A = this chain, B = another copy of it.
Amino acid sequence: MLNCLKAIALLKNVALRPTKQRIALTKILFQDNYLHVTAEQLHSEAIRKGYKISLATVYNALNRFKEAGIVKQVLVEPGKIYFDTNTEPHHHFYIEETGELLDVSDDECKIASLPIIPAEYTVNQVEITIRLEKSKDADPRSRN
């Protein structure tokens, strides 16, 4: 868990005012492991930890964090925005049944050949989403 000083430093680094609420969210988000959350999930977690913060502020903060480049958004489900604290180029497993999102490092998932890019355009981002489902025969011992 980040302490307050580090949270404040992180926010000042990207020219965002370190308000109580942003510090709280920063402490929750930037731990050792990367996190994938929706605004709603982050809000619940903040409330659970005893912080006083409104959902609208969580949305505002996440959008500022995104503009500042310290989180990025991931689209895997219609009508829902996930935010990812891993801003390095990387990819995802997505488990639809549970809504779980897992990081796949750029090294683990190399692209052999990119297509020809349309004229006058440049690549901004390449994202691979690997959608998973529970195996039909999860237990090999039960097979005939």
Contact = CB atoms under 8 A, between A and B. Distances in A.
A125 B114 contact: no
A138 to B, nearest CB: 5
Interface residues of A, number: 43
Interface centre among A77, A113, A115 (most CB of B within 10 A): A115
Nearest to A91: B115
B120 A135 contact: yes
B121 A133 contact: yes
A40 B29 CA distance: 36
A122 interface: yes
B109 A122 contact: no
Nearest to A75: B75
List 10 A-B pairs, minimum CB-CB distance, nearest first. A108-B115, A112-B112, A121-B132, A110-B112, A124-B131, A125-B131, A75-B75, A120-B138, A124-B133, A122-B135
Given A96-B124, A108-B114, 11 more contacts: A75-B78, A79-B79, A109-B113, A109-B114, A114-B130, A117-B132, A121-B132, A121-B135, A122-B134, A126-B128, A127-B129
Interface of A: 73, 75-79, 81, 91, 93, 95-96, 102, 104-105, 108-118, 120-136, 138
